[in-house]
Chains A and B, each alone.
Chain A
C-alpha cells in the first residue's frame, strides 16, 4: 500500500531549538518525496523536494530508503517557521504521478 505517515500532529519547540518533523512512507517503487507548508492564512506551497537536495529557509530533508523516511530538519527554529507541514509522496513513473499527502504536523515555535 502507498502511504505517508506523519506521527506527530503537533510539535512545539522554543525559538532557537532544533526541529525535526518526522515522515515515513510506504511505497514499493522508487519514491519521490516532497515537503509542503501552509503558513497561517496562506495557501499550501512547496517547501522542498528530495531530488533537489536543497536547503530552503534553513530546512533540509534527506531521503533514507532503508528506514523509508524523509524527515524535515532545521537546526535553529524561528517563530516564522510556525505553520502546518505536509510530507508528500509521488507515485507512478516519471514526473506525472499523483501526490499522496500525510496528515500533516503543526509546528509551533514559541518565543
Chain B
C-alpha cells in the first residue's frame, strides 16, 4: 500500500499563472482533504471532497478550486497565483468523511516567483 501519493513533489510558478496539484488517496479511502502549510505554520484546511463533491471549505478565496474523480483521486487548482500562495500543499485521505484519523501525503512544495 503506497499510502497517499501527491504529485509533483516540487513546482515553481510565476505570479498570475495557474497550477494543478494531484493526489491519490490511500487504498480504501474515499475522502480527500487539502491543506496549505506555510513555512513555520501548521496546516490550514482548504477544502474536503467526498463523492465527487466539495463538502467543506476553509477560508480560502475562489481562486482555490478542486475536483474529485470517480476513482477518489483529487486535484487542487489555484488560479492567478500570488507570492503568498507559496507553501507546502498537503493532501490527506480518510474514509466516509470521517476526520478522526487522517493519512497525509508528503506534500507538494509550491514556489511562486
Contacts and interface: CB of A to CB of B under 8 A. Distances in A.
Interface residues of A, number: 22
A96 B98 contact: yes
Contacts of A98: 33, 45, 48, 56, 58, 99
Interface residues on B, range: 20 to 34
A40 interface: no
Given A98-B48, A98-B58, A86 B100 contact: no
Contact of A99 (B4, B55, B97, B102): B102
Contacts of B98: 95-96
Contacts, number: 54
A44 B45 contact: no
Given A98-B48, A101-B42, A103-B41, A43 B104 contact: yes
Q: Which of B102, B103, B105 has the most CB of A within 10 A?
A: B102
A100 interface: yes
B90 interface: yes
Indicate the member of A4, A49, A104 with the most B CB atoms within 10 Å. A104
Nearest to B40: A103
Contacts of B104: 43-45
Interface of B: 3-4, 33, 35, 40-45, 48, 55-56, 58, 90, 97-106
